[in-house]
Amino acid sequence: VTPYEVIHRKRDGAELPAAELRAFLEGYGRGEVADYQMSAFLMAVFFRGLAQEELGAWTRGMLESGEVLDLSDIPGAKVDKHSTGGVGDKVSLCLAPLVAACGVRVPMISGRGLGHTGGTLDKLESIPGFRVDLSIAEYRKLVREVGACLIGQTATLAPADKRLYALRDVTATIECIPLIASSIMSKKLAEGIDALVLDVKVGSGAFMKREADARILAQTMIDIGTHFGRRVTALLTDMDQPLGRAVGNALEVEEAVAVLRGEGPTDVTEVTFALGAEMLVLGGAAGTAEAARSKLEEAVRAGTALAKLEEIVSRQGGDARVVRDGARLPRARLQHEVRARSAGFICAIDSEAVGLAGVALGAGRQRVDSAIDPAVGFELLKKIGDKAMVGEPLVRIHANDEARLPDIERRLAAAYALGPTAPRRRPLVLERLSE
């Protein structure tokens, strides 16, 4: 079967045998399938989708294009969490130490900010000295000794996915559920995990704006997990407004610390606990979600979660004093408040716009090679359902460059919609899906 035939048949809606998909992907790795053939194929997949068996074969092809870690020599269950990305989503920073403190190991390979969303690696790097580029050997050692380790994707894990992702990024084939699901799962399966909890974000700050799409994405990833004999649970969680109050790297680290101290915003705490409970159950550290939740609450109360964060930071080369002393984190020079021009209830926050304002401020990258300013970002002083008087502050901007303020202020003011009545409260956890 030639590359041409593979493209042609997918284009016409055929279901391709696993061996053909595998050969196509391997041919791409060897340069026998050209970039222009792969991009035409990916666009055909955008329109035709991938059936269950195809999805398994495609994911396996990407997974086995590189090293597949085996952590089975490390005792106990290894459970990771993956978020599809949002604005103000610092949950990984809370969750890894919290779950590790409860006895379930968390081998976590995270990403950078993408588009309007933030990335765990960027947030961690706002901690002075923190290293996310550990070797696989160091990673194994920390998962064993500390119980959690947070690093970036190495060149050896799922390299085919890395190349395909870059191609999709410039050929408008990112927003395709089977391609998103197989990309995420190939990386996660390469980590050496036993089970996985997915946080599939839905709403204005998520890549999936509609709950129906998020549900299909979650189910697709669960199906892939099943195909590979891994237990996967997914929560669909609200991303119609930024999670918590902090948006921006150092600001989010500070808020994550607050969560572990039991003083964080309700929404971040709630999402952290809901995901953590799933991880403890999957990892066998609790029999029920209720028992798991008690364990998590106890880890916060007793301070073991906070101590675990200090241990992680210190073992990954960071200044662990930031955990007790937030002033050691980078701070922006300027603070500026965006004020309400009319009175009313906050009805909606365009969270993608907030995220993009953060990128414009320097909290994210405008280009692949842009530098990030770890100190800048926003504090959301009003969130959906809050009442604002005229002139009351909505958002506090933390900036280092005064010249950027007018544009950022304009963007944030436009992102807030005020109305005469409070909107109906939306639940934080919209839905739970499992195998």
Closer Cβ to its own copies, 50 or 380, answer by number: 50
Closer Cβ to its own copies, 8 or 328, answer by number: 8
Per CB under 8 A, 1 contacts its own copies? no
In whole angstroms, how close is the CB of 415 to its own copies at the nearest point? Answer: 22
Per CB under 8 A, 270 contacts its own copies? no
Rounded CA separation 347/49 (Å): 36
In whole angstroms, how close is the CB of 38 to its own copies at the nearest point? Answer: 7
How does 311-322 read in b/e, with b if 16+ C-beta sit within 10 Å?
Answer: bbbbbbebebeb
Residue 53 neighbours by CB under 8 Å, 6+ apart:
15, 18
Q: Are strands 106-110 and 148-152 parallel, antiparallel or unpaired?
A: parallel
| Amino acid sitting at position 319 | D
Rounded CA separation 310/304 (Å): 10
**How many residues sit close enough to its own copies to count as binding (CB under 8 A)?**
22
Per CB under 8 A, 34 contacts its own copies? yes
Task: Specify the stretch interacting with its own copies by CB under 8 A; choose among 38-46, 110-118, 189-197, 373-381.
Answer: 38-46
- The owner of tokens 């409260």 is 425
Per CB under 8 A, 83 contacts its own copies? no
Tokens of 270: 């709630």
Closer Cβ to its own copies, 39 or 186, answer by number: 39
Task: Specify the stretch interacting with its own copies by CB under 8 A; choose among 6-14, 148-156, 224-232, 289-297.
Answer: 6-14
**Which ranges of 71-128 would DSSP assign to H, the alpha helix?**
91-101, 120-124
Task: Specify the stretch interacting with its own copies by CB under 8 A; choose among 7-15, 333-341, 354-362, 384-392.
Answer: 7-15
Closer Cβ to its own copies, 25 or 257, answer by number: 25
Per CB under 8 A, 8 contacts its own copies? yes
Per CB under 8 A, 302 contacts its own copies? no
Q: What are φ and ψ of residue 234, in 5° steps?
A: -125, 140
In whole angstroms, how close is the CB of 37 to its own copies at the nearest point? Answer: 6
In whole angstroms, how close is the CB of 183 to its own copies at the nearest point? Answer: 17
Sheet of 416-419: strand order equals: 387-388, 344-349, 416-419
Site for its own copies in 165-224 (CB under 8 A): 167, 170-173
Tokens of 180: 């998103």
Q: What are φ and ψ of residue 65, in 5° steps?
A: -75, -10
In whole angstroms, how close is the CB of 371 to its own copies at the nearest point? Answer: 22
- Secondary structure (H, E, C), 26-56: HHHHCCCCCHHHHHHHHHHHHHHCCCHHHHH
Closer Cβ to its own copies, 47 or 263, answer by number: 47
Interface with its own copies (CB under 8 A), residue from 16, 44, 102, 397: 44
Q: Are strands 231-238 and 195-202 parallel, antiparallel or unpaired?
A: parallel
Q: How far is CA 398 from CA 113, 349, 374, 404, in A?
A: 19, 19, 11, 11
Task: Specify the stretch interacting with its own copies by CB under 8 A; choose among 164-172, 178-186, 305-313, 338-346.
Answer: 164-172
In whole angstroms, how close is the CB of 11 to its own copies at the nearest point? Answer: 5
Angle, helices 18-29/159-170, rounded to nearest 10 degrees: 80
Q: How far is CA 282 from CA 49, 194, 225, in A?
A: 30, 9, 13
Interface with its own copies (CB under 8 A), residue from 15, 26, 35, 319: 35
Residue 402 neighbours by CB under 8 Å, 6+ apart:
334
In whole angstroms, how close is the CB of 178 to its own copies at the nearest point? Answer: 15
Interface with its own copies (CB under 8 A), residue from 47, 133, 145, 302: 47
Per CB under 8 A, 42 contacts its own copies? yes
Task: Specify the stretch interacting with its own copies by CB under 8 A; choose among 29-37, 97-105, 194-202, 406-414.
Answer: 29-37
Per CB under 8 A, 3 contacts its own copies? yes
Rounded CA separation 390/408 (Å): 20
Which residues carry out catalysis? Answer: 82, 161, 168, 183, 187
Per CB under 8 A, 7 contacts its own copies? yes
In whole angstroms, how close is the CB of 8 to its own copies at the nearest point? Answer: 4
In whole angstroms, how close is the CB of 369 to its own copies at the nearest point? Answer: 17
N-term to C-term CA, the chain = 35
Rounded CA separation 280/278 (Å): 6
Task: Specify the stretch interacting with its own copies by CB under 8 A; choose among 5-13, 79-87, 202-210, 376-384.
Answer: 5-13
**Which residues are at the interface with its own copies (CB under 8 A)?**
3-4, 7-8, 11, 34-40, 42-44, 46-47, 167, 170-173
